[in-house]
Amino acid sequence: MGEFVRLEVEGGVGTIRLERPPVNALNNQVQAELAGLAREASTRDDVRAVILYGGEKTFAGGADIKEMAARTYVEMTEFGADLTNTLSALAAIPKPTVAAITGYALGGGLELALTADRRIGGDNVKVGQPEIQLGIIPGAGGTQRLARLIGPSKAKDLIYTGRFVKAEEALALGILDEVVAPDEVYAAAHRWAAQFAEGPAVALKAAKAAIDGGLDVDLANGLKLEANLFAALWATEDQANGMRSFVDNGPGKATFKGK
């Protein structure tokens, strides 16, 4: 646990929660704490799914601009690489992940949300990549993950203009996957995550690896990756239990150990 970020685990669901008032700005310390908790959430057997959450008021307002403005080029090169590595570690958590977005997810805050498999926001949220208004561009995945998620043309519009996007448009663009009442955001994210708490953890890990890894290669190599991960699941207890349960009791009644 850190000063500004902590991991809370209950019933198989781990919540990585940011608490750096007033807007959870991503400074050096927050970045370092996020990196440590990404590793912890990845390796803990009692964490079967992960929620990224900034609290009831705001998800994350972006990088700490005062801190960034004082850096030299050399210092910014190091910090930018560290932040990119941290967000990549969050994206690589081998478990289902969901961002519970309240208030704002701007700049680095949206880049943080883009690391999750799913994004649920309140109907009053605003998201965006406003870095262009500072004379810079997104530097921790915004130009890459956003373009892969919603397509290059739509991503360019948001990044070139730096405009804020309200919940309805964010849903239509595909940045958000679900919009709920503001006070229902965390509960909705928890409901989604909780369904995997007793699921086949190895198969879920394989599904995520196949989808994410396949997006980085051509179709032929993506199919090879899928076939290898598919076959490897025959070495798991969950595959044996799942198929035995299907034959004996029909679909949807298997219990899994995550092994």
| Peptide linkage before 22 cis (omega within 30 of 0) | yes
Q: Known catalytic residue: 67?
A: no
Q: Which residues contact 15 (CB under 8 A, 6 or more apart)?
A: 7, 8, 9, 50, 51, 53
Q: Using alpha carbons only, what angle is made at residue 54 by residues 50 and 55, rounded to the nearest 5 degrees?
A: 105
Nearest one of 97, 59, 112 to 212, comparing CA atoms: 97
Q: Output the DSSP codes for 17-81.
A: EE--TTTT-B-HHHHHHHHHHHHHHHH-TT--EEEEE--SS-SB--B-HHHHHT--HHHHHHHHH
Q: Known catalytic residue: 198?
A: no
Bridge partners, 97 (sequence order): 50
Which of 3, 75, 131, 168 is catalytic? The answer is 131
Which of 3, 10, 40, 111 is catalytic? The answer is 111
Catalytic residues: 111, 131
